[in-house]
Amino acid sequence: MQIIRHSEQTLKTALISKNPVLVSQYEKLDAGEQRLMNEAFQPASNLFGPITLHSPSDWITSHPEAPQDFEQFFSDPYRKTPSPNKRSIYIQSIGDILKFLKKKKPEDAFCVVGITMIDLYPRDSWNFVFGQASLTDGVGIFSFARYGSDFYSMRYEGKVKKLKKTSSSDYSIFDNYYIPEITSVLLLRSCKTLTHEIGHIFGLRHCQWLACLMQGSNHLEEADRRPLNLCPICLRKLQCAIGFSTVERYKALVRWIDDESSDTPGATPEHSCEDNGNLPKPVEAFKEWKEWIIKCLAVLQK
């Protein structure tokens, strides 16, 4: 295992910047938010740790790219931010990909994110991706396909005998396709990928500073190691993009975990389509993350 450990000064510069304007902006955050974000460059922090690489197939090794600090994020001329007229995030269940989403994007949408059970890969040289997003078009896509516990034991070869050209609204080719059991692990994995892709749409690139939601992942094991939370550098980027109180954000996340019911009706293999009641929300896998949020709130509210 390899540990990527940056110096205290490197992380401090990545978070705060040496630009006087951005330093001043940082100093205007409330004391609790500064205290939490400063954990980024505390060597003994138990909230934010270094990135660990477990194999040559991990993302940073397989897909080298330049890191993005806060100043680079802030100065990116192509970064888009929400506006009063474009401030909604739409989640669209689809069987097609980014061009479809771009065409279907509502007028008030900041972004549209598609979800699908079809396995995704952007080009023949890639084995698969969990998700993909277009920063400039405000659209993204992610797949649940590999998140079910039995995905790798199922077999689908031979389903399509020859290439078929169908209309963009005809998804009959995917009838009876794989539907996983809805478990807390599947929900946790899906939340990670969905929020990671939306982070890209807000202009956050892959994180190479600390263990973070915005790390890339090249396989399921690496995706599972990635935390659901943002590191302080990426948290500051998101706060700059949309504006929020970190305390209120974390309190809302705890409420979401504690709310036992699902927000929307759903279906599992054990539930028929006629069952329209809200399903219990499986959150057992979120226990560790909830404990982490509570620790952060303690730092924020000292």
User: At which residue do the structure tokens 């509502």 appear?
Assistant: 106
What's the chain's Rg over C-alpha atoms?
20
Quick check: helix, strand or coil at residue 72? helix
* Rounded Cα distance, 110 and 102, in Å: 11
Could you tell me which of 195, 207, 239, 192 has the C-alpha nearest to residue 11?
207
Distance from C-alpha of 15 to C-alpha of 105, rounded to nearest angstrom:
33
Amino acid at 5: R
Q: In 3D, which of 124, 145, 262, 263 has the Cα closest to residue 193?
A: 145
Q: Please give the backbone phi and psi of residue 143, each rounded to the nearest 5 degrees, phi first.
A: -115, 135
- Quick check: 208 and 226 in contact, CB under 8 A? no
Known catalytic residues are 197
